[in-house]
Structure 1
Amino acid sequence: MGQIRAILLPGSVLPAQAAYGALIAALGPDVQAITKDLELYSGDEPPAGWSLDTEIDGVLREAHARGWETFHLVGYSGGGAAALAFAAKHPDRLLSLALLEPAWAGNWDWTPAHAELWKKYDQLETLPPEQFMPAFMRLGVRPDVVLPPPPPGPPPPWMAKRPAGIEAFLRIFKTYDLDRARLAAFRQPVFFALGGLSNPDDYGEIASRLSRVFFPDFHLEVFPKRHHFDPPHRIEPERLAELLLRHWKQAGG
């Protein structure tokens, strides 16, 4: 088998290289891992008419530029939502799918706890900028998790784009039609990494729904000490790399 080919999509906060640099180093030379920033942040404001289809088109362009007919796709948080949408529309292009706590709140039959949580996400749009990010982060973890303070000094320039980008994701979840029948027909292996300290009414329920309703070949791996904002691809890259390598080699291609 030749070199493993994978495209890695980041979440709605960190740029791709900052998010995945440690993981790529841990994956080693046998993996051609391409970090691809979200199309959402290609300009100073979200592109007009942006949707998950915009991200799908960006992945297709990246693969075409490299001559990749098939590849493995990895997505974290908002990038995980884009990866799910890609798997539904272009399953023939994927050798496997890896989801690192993907965000999703579409029109599925959620539990009351998940529905209540997303009412709180909707309320974020009413907050001033200085309160937006702390409130957003608090919703993603268990109530007893102590989140670190922001790093000292001025924020990096790219951070100014993030509230508008996160709000764009929250809006698209209300309208985007993620075809459940096509997800259920996806036969390639699916890997899901879940933090034990993440909000179980959010990412835990997404994992449960995907495993029970959609993907027939689904593997869940729990990282007990991790949560959505200290994810395994940044904090435990060696363990995640080992699991992804096993996942990809089992998938073949």
Structure 2
Amino acid sequence: MNTTEQVILLPGSVLPAAPAYGALIEALHDQLGDQLEAVAKDLEVYATDEPPADYSLDHEVDGVLREANNRGWDTFHLVGYSGGGASALAFAARYPHRLRSLALLEPAWAGNWDWSPAHTELWKKFDALRDLPPEEFMAQFVRLGVRPGVTAGLPTGTGPQPPWMAKRPAGIRAFMRTFATYDLDRAALAAFAQPVYFALGSLSNPDEYVEIAERLGRVFPTFHLEVFEGRHHFDPPHRVEPARVAAALTQTWSRTHRAVA
């Protein structure tokens, strides 16, 4: 029996949802045809000119829930990259029964427990960026996301910027503030029985993304890690190798059907 796959995809804190996921959704359509209903959903942090003063990951959780309910989706797959990946984790902790699977594309944060000294030092460097001017803030933010010495594929920030870029420094700072205080329910994630897929670039900063992958691998009961050689956080697999990521997602989704068969 053919099953329609319904999926919400959350972008990172820089690129809007449509350009972030256009290639991946096209690749998914190539593989699934009419058996796909996909929505690339923009982050709630950018729904207004400035982030709400009380912004937290709960705003993103509520936005995903509203999107699913408006579409009449009782259950669905959730994909999240970077800030959207952190939001997807928060959703999985609060509404696990609504998800068929969870795909994490280098989530920017994954709870405040079991941090290594290296991860703690990295977040001190992120915290030090908060008061920088926007252009310098973005440049330093990007450099912290990759292995030292990596330059290929990094956004340069030179030339005219699209209008939406003006919101990004404030939005990223809002994410950083909520990461510092948000209580991500580890026990709820440990009880999440649905398949979890994690895509990791080999050139991303290991003190952030490798550590997050390893920590989540110890928490989720069903966890699959795929490493993409030569990719990093700002040259991500879902944009550069969309067919491969689409294949991984459809394989993950197929496991949900086998589990309920």
- Scaled by the length of structure 2, what TM-score is found? 0.94
| Runs of 4+ residues deviating >3 angstroms | none
Aligned residues: CA RMSD: 1.2
| Maintained 8 Å contact 1:105/1:174 | no
Could you tell me how far 1:106 is from its partner in structure 2? Answer: 3.5
**Residue matched to 2:53:** 48
**Residue matched to 2:77:** 72
Could you tell me how far 1:151 is from its partner in structure 2? Answer: 6.0
| Maintained 8 Å contact 1:190/1:218 | yes
Alignment CA distance shift 1:195-1:27 (3 Å): same
**Residue matched to 1:128:** 133
| Maintained 8 Å contact 1:106/1:175 | no
- Scaled by the length of structure 1, what TM-score is found? 0.97
Could you tell me how far 1:107 is from its partner in structure 2? Answer: 2.2
Q: Which amino acid aligns with 1:207?
A: A
* 1:19 paired to 2:25: no
**Residue matched to 1:34:** 39
| 1:92-143: CA deviation from partner (whole Å, max 9, x where unpaired) | 0000000000011642121111100000000011211121111000000000
Match of 1:117 among 105, 115, 122: 122
| Maintained 8 Å contact 2:237/2:245 | yes
Count of residues paired in the alignment: 252
Supply the distance in 2 between the matched residues of 1:69 and 1:36 (Cα, whole angstroms). 17
* 1:174 paired to 2:180: yes
- 3-state SS of paired residue (2:104): strand
Supply the distance in 2 between the matched residues of 1:76 and 1:178 (Cα, whole angstroms). 17
Match of 1:232 among 228, 234, 237: 237
Could you tell me how far 1:149 is from its partner in structure 2? Answer: 5.2
- 3-state SS of paired residue (2:129): helix
**Residue matched to 2:68:** 63
Identity of aligned residues (%): 69
Alignment CA distance shift 1:7-1:135 (3 Å): same
Q: Which amino acid aligns with 2:172?
A: I
**Residue matched to 1:205:** 211
Supply the distance in 2 between the matched residues of 1:248 and 1:109 (Cα, whole angstroms). 29
**Residue matched to 1:3:** 4
Structure 1: 5+ residue stretches without partners? none
Alignment CA distance shift 1:143-1:217 (3 Å): same
Q: Which amino acid aligns with 1:9?
A: L
After TM superposition, the structure 1 stretch with the greater mean CA deviation from structure 2, 98-107 or 160-169, is 98-107
Alignment CA distance shift 1:121-1:50 (3 Å): same
| Maintained 8 Å contact 2:114/2:215 | no
* 1:185 paired to 2:191: yes
Supply the distance in 1 between the matched residues of 2:53 and 2:158 (Cα, whole angstroms). 34
- 3-state SS of paired residue (1:125): coil
- 3-state SS of paired residue (2:128): helix
Supply the distance in 2 between the matched residues of 1:149 and 1:82 (Cα, whole angstroms). 23
**Residue matched to 1:154:** 160
Q: Which amino acid aligns with 1:240?
A: V
Q: Which amino acid aligns with 1:158?
A: W
| Maintained 8 Å contact 1:105/1:118 | no
Q: Which amino acid aligns with 1:194?
A: L
- 3-state SS of paired residue (1:75): strand
